[in-house]
A and B are shown apart, each in its own frame.
Chain A
Amino acid sequence: MTGRASPASLLALAVDGLRRKIGRNLLTIGGVFIGVFALTLIVSLGEGMTRLVETAVSGEDNLRQIGLSGGLGRPLGDESEIEIFGEMSDARRKRLRRAALARTRHGTFIGRRVRALDAASLAELEEIEHVEVARPIVLERYEMTAGERETEATATLGVDVRRGRYADRVIEGRYFTTPGADEALIHEYLAYQWGCVSDEELRSLLGIELVLEPIRNPSGGGFASSGFLAEMLGRLDLSALSEEERQAFPKIVEKLGRGLFGGGGAATVPKRHVVTVVGIVRELEAGDAIRVIEDGNASRVDVFLPLDTATRFFFEQPVNREIGFGRSYVVVDDAEHVGEVETELRKRGFTAFSVASVISRIGGFLGALTIVVSLLTGVALLVAALGIVNTMVTSVLERTHEIGLWKAVGATSGQVRTVFLLEAAMIGLLGGLLGLGVALLVQIPADALALRMISERAAFPLQGSVFHVPAWLPVAGPLLAAGIAMLAALYPAHRAARVDPVRALRHE
């Protein structure tokens, strides 16, 4: 006996309802539009930024590398080793010692550097389980002469020849023959500075000899008059050092000064190094594999030396033999073991950081940010939902007579309810699709703009998009809006379903 209206028929009634008060319904749709527009942008931005960072730094090698910073060699963690000077009560001295310990444990850049990085500690690193190799990062500056060309403070970097690093960036000449060869690759920008522009001019640089000399103090005095080092040391914040470290610091600097600038003593006689240019290296391009830890300081390097050669040059400076490498890195056998090795390194007194942990922190931050902003977007959708309730209640009141007629000619309460829920769902769906569509359109110029702004400030060329629309979003966004709209319409639809046909028809 019971008839069953086709969904299309009820949908047609719902569409007709929507078209009645087109202005009011457009405003309601606008509310949903704003919510879904914001949701789409926020989620896309969160996803895009995460992917951008991951794409840029999460190459196979990056996730297996852990960087280490060289320290002053004094282990931390024992409160009794920290001396507090001056007359004071024992209680206060104890408090200050605890405070000093806390400050050296957390957050201070220099204070966390503990173990020195030298040949012995690198050998120790290679003994740690899951560590494949431990390599120093040899980034040095030399005064360089190439025939008649002279360059002050040329940055050189040791290249791990065994792993073929930078081989793919050689655009003229060839790669190094051995890890200890007296050979060099020069950056195409240095060649450009030397006036070599054409391929032929670049090729003319192959085979020339570079003479590298440790940077001398022009005045022959202490380090303070050396522009480069004085500037670098002047930037250091010594407030983070313990008293003991602060006292030790001038001695180290003195050694640095003697080693680098010939401040007296037979051991400080600088040695000239001669290497032959065998190739030209191009600048990084988007899509190049970037090892964040290895290459972190390579963006201003002009001359690339084989790592063993660079290390040999490095240790020919007495001061370097005393304080060791500034930085090094280890490569772990599998990315899964990075956390374990990182913990072990810290336990042994090294300052360690991995790309994986940085990505994890960035991902966590972006994830939390996305959730918070999504909640704010949720508020926008909630406001839209209240708008839908208002619109639908008004619609039911205005159409009471019509609903009465529907029921008089055979509509069930369920059918009446369905018509109004469909009407709300369409408001949600239309607003959702509109919000999604406009957000996708807005992303095109916004993406180009944001990528340009980020690229101008980033050390590495980036490729990809700042916005990324996850596959689920184009479906879930409008469906979520439709779902919220239907939830909002439950009460008005229930009211419509309960309309008494006799009363409704009597009060036309």
Chain B
Amino acid sequence: MSAIRTRDLVKEYRLGRDNVVRALAGVDLEVEAGEFVALLGKSGSGKSTLLNVVGGLDRPTAGQVAVGGTELADLSERDLAAFRARTVGFVFQSFHLQPRYPAWENVALPLVFLGVGRRERRRRAAALLDDVGLAHRIDHRPAELSGGEQQRVAFARSLVSEPRVLLADEPTGNLDSETSRQIAGLLESAHERGATLLLVTHDREMAEGSADRVIRMADGRIEGAS
């Protein structure tokens, strides 16, 4: 069974009365469970939109999208929230960490909405921060961390609810090459542990070096794969 499957996926944004932007123009995509797929393409090609729709952050205008066998169109708003909490993990280019929270609370944020108690949240967050090499930074706030460390915290957060699918949107876009390699290593490590990965990136070298398959997108469509 495919981990991710889209059929004729369309996403349009209405900008003003007569201006409709078609971000996805009929995307058919299949990602097998445990597969690491990279989406390459220029800005505006629809990569991030595809990631948001697959991750349940956005609903498609038309077409179908199923993740782990669950058809997202059938989910209520509440169930879609639960899907985001349990089934997928996001890694964003801008990290999106809460400046007031220490590292462990940022990592454990998804668990708050799953009803996990504070002590268990801290235990799980500590274990993940240890995995990404930040055990010594557990109580540090984002402002006290480097860019690479912040992205590692964000990466740990994406894994805290043990999702089957990891969605990474330009995770190295704001990082230098050395730090990017560290993040790529973390992604590969997650892949090796069985996670399905969909990575959006501009970095051809990273995509071809880490992913099982590279898909190129342009103008809201899949142009080819390698």
Contacts and interface: CB of A to CB of B under 8 A. Distances in A.
A4 to B, nearest CB: 5
B96 A9 contact: no
Interface stretch (A261-269, A405-413, A488-496): A405-413
Contacts of A411: 81, 85, 112-113
B57 interface: yes
Given A2-B82, A3-B86, A13 B112 contact: yes
A217 B198 CA distance: 119
B78 interface: yes
Nearest to A410: B85
B86 A1 contact: yes
Contact of A6 (B81, B84, B109, B115): B115
Contacts of A1: 79, 82-83, 86
A347 to B, nearest CB: 73
A402 interface: yes
B58 A410 contact: no
A502 interface: yes
Interface residues of A, number: 30
B11 to A, nearest CB: 11
Nearest to B121: A9
Interface in A69-103: none
A412 B113 contact: yes
Nearest to B87: A1
A462 to B, nearest CB: 55
Interface residues of B, number: 28
B180 interface: no
B163 to A, nearest CB: 10
Contacts of A413: 77-78, 81
A179 to B, nearest CB: 82
A409 B78 contact: no
A197 B187 CA distance: 102
Interface string A419-459: 00000000000000000000000000000000000000000
Contacts of A16: 100
A9 B90 contact: no
A463 interface: no
Nearest to A4: B115
A322 B137 CA distance: 106
A5 interface: yes
Contacts of A508: 94, 96
A6 B78 contact: no
A459 to B, nearest CB: 65
A502 B113 contact: no
Interface string B93-130: 01010101000000001101111011000000000000
A415 interface: yes
B58 A502 contact: yes
B84 A405 contact: no
Given A1-B82, A402-B98, A505 B92 contact: yes
A501 interface: yes
A2 B78 contact: yes
Interface string B52-96: 100001100000000000000000011101111110001010101
Contacts of B81: 2, 407, 410-413, 415
Contacts of A5: 112-115
A314 B184 CA distance: 116
B78 A502 contact: no
Contacts of A470: none
Given A5-B115, A6-B117, A406-B113, A502 B77 contact: no
B113 to A, nearest CB: 4
A501 B88 CA distance: 15
A415 B118 CA distance: 17
B114 A3 contact: yes
Contacts of B5: none
B123 to A, nearest CB: 15
Nearest to B157: A409
Interface string A349-383: 00000000000000000000000000000000000
B6 interface: no
A204 B78 CA distance: 94
B161 interface: yes
Contact of B79 (A2, A13, A408): A2
Contact of A409 (B84, B115, B118): B84
A3 B115 CA distance: 6
B82 to A, nearest CB: 4
B77 A410 contact: no
Given A2-B79, A405-B98, A410-B161, A9 B115 contact: yes
Q: Which of B52, B92, B113 has the most CB of A within 10 A?
A: B113
B57 A502 contact: yes
Nearest to B110: A409
Contacts of B83: 1
B97 to A, nearest CB: 9
A1 B83 CA distance: 7
Contacts of A405: 96, 98, 109
A25 B112 CA distance: 24
A194 to B, nearest CB: 82
Contacts of A501: 57
Contacts of B94: 505, 508
21 contacts: A1-B83, A1-B86, A2-B81, A2-B82, A3-B114, A4-B115, A5-B112, A9-B112, A10-B112, A405-B109, A406-B109, A407-B81, A408-B90, A408-B96, A410-B84, A410-B86, A410-B110, A410-B113, A411-B113, A415-B81, A501-B57
Given A408-B84, A409-B84, A412-B113, 10 more contacts: A3-B85, A3-B113, A6-B115, A16-B100, A401-B96, A405-B98, A407-B81, A408-B96, A411-B113, A508-B94
The 4 A-B residue pairs with the shortest CB-CB distance, nearest first, are: A410-B85, A3-B114, A409-B110, A412-B81
